[in-house]
Chains A and B, each alone.
Chain A
Amino acid sequence: MENIGINWQLTVAFLINFLVLFGLLTAILYKPVLKMLDERAAKIKESLEQAEKIKEQTSRSEEQIKAAVEAARKEGQVIITQASQIADKIKEEAKEGARKEADVIINKAKDEIKLERDKSIAELRSEFSNLTILAAEKIINESLDAQKHRKLINEVLDQSNTFKQN
Chain B
Amino acid sequence: MSKLGCSSRLMVILGIVLLALLLTSFVMGPLGSKFFNISVPQELQVSKPHVVLPSEPMFHIGEFKVTNTLISSWVTIILLFLLFLFATRKMKMIPGRLQSFAEVVVDGIYNTIEGVSGPKYVRTFFPIVTTIFLYVVTNALLALVPLWGTWGPVEHIGEGAHSATVVVPFLRAANTDVNLTLSIALVSFVFIEYLGFSKIGPLKYVDSFFQFSALGKAFVDLFKGNGKSFVSGLAFGFINIYVGLLEILSHFIRIVSFTFRLFGNMTAGEILLGVMTFLVAFIAPVPFYGLETLVGFLQAMIFAGLTLVFGVMAVTSHHEEGAEHN
Residues of A within 8 A of B (CB): 2-7, 9-15, 17-22, 24-26, 28-30, 32-37, 39-40, 43
Contacts and interface: CB of A to CB of B under 8 A. Distances in A.
A21 B180 contact: no
Nearest to A24: B81
Contacts of B80: 21, 24-25
Contacts of B126: 30, 34
B64 A17 contact: no
Contacts of B103: 33, 36-37
Contacts of B105: 29
Contact of B127 (A11, A13, A14, A26): A26
B183 A14 contact: yes
A40 to B, nearest CB: 7
A18 B183 contact: yes
A18 B135 contact: yes
A6 B178 contact: yes
A22 B182 CA distance: 16
A25 B53 contact: no
Interface stretch (B36-44, B85-93, B205-213, B270-278): B85-93
Contacts of A39: 93
B106 A5 contact: no
Contacts of A14: 70, 73, 177, 179-180, 182-184
A18 B132 CA distance: 8
Contacts of B50: none
Contacts of B320: none
Contacts of A29: 84, 87-88, 102, 105-106
B143 to A, nearest CB: 15
A33 B123 CA distance: 13
Nearest to B123: A34
B93 to A, nearest CB: 7
A6 B179 contact: yes
Q: Which 9 A-B pairs have the closest CB atoms?
A: A5-B54, A14-B183, A10-B179, A15-B183, A33-B106, A29-B84, A11-B179, A4-B53, A14-B180
Contacts of B123: 34
B130 A30 contact: yes
Given A13-B70, A30-B127, A4 B178 contact: yes
Contacts of B53: 3-5
B73 A17 contact: yes
Interface residues of B, number: 45
A32 B103 CA distance: 10
Contacts of B135: 18, 21
A48 to B, nearest CB: 16
A141 to B, nearest CB: 142
Contact of A4 (B54, B74, B85, B87): B54
A5 B178 contact: yes
Given A5-B55, A28-B84, A10 B177 contact: yes
A148 to B, nearest CB: 134
Interface in B65-122: 65, 67, 70, 73-74, 76-77, 80-81, 84-85, 87-88, 91, 93, 95, 102-103, 105-107, 110
A24 B127 CA distance: 11
A55 B30 CA distance: 77
A32 B86 CA distance: 12
A25 B187 contact: no
Contacts of A35: 91
Contacts of A4: 53-54, 178, 263
B178 to A, nearest CB: 5
B134 interface: yes
Given A11-B183, A12-B183, A17-B70, 9 more contacts: A2-B54, A7-B54, A10-B179, A11-B186, A28-B84, A30-B130, A32-B88, A33-B107, A36-B93
7 contacts: A6-B178, A11-B183, A28-B84, A30-B106, A30-B130, A37-B106, A40-B93
B88 A33 contact: yes
B234 interface: no
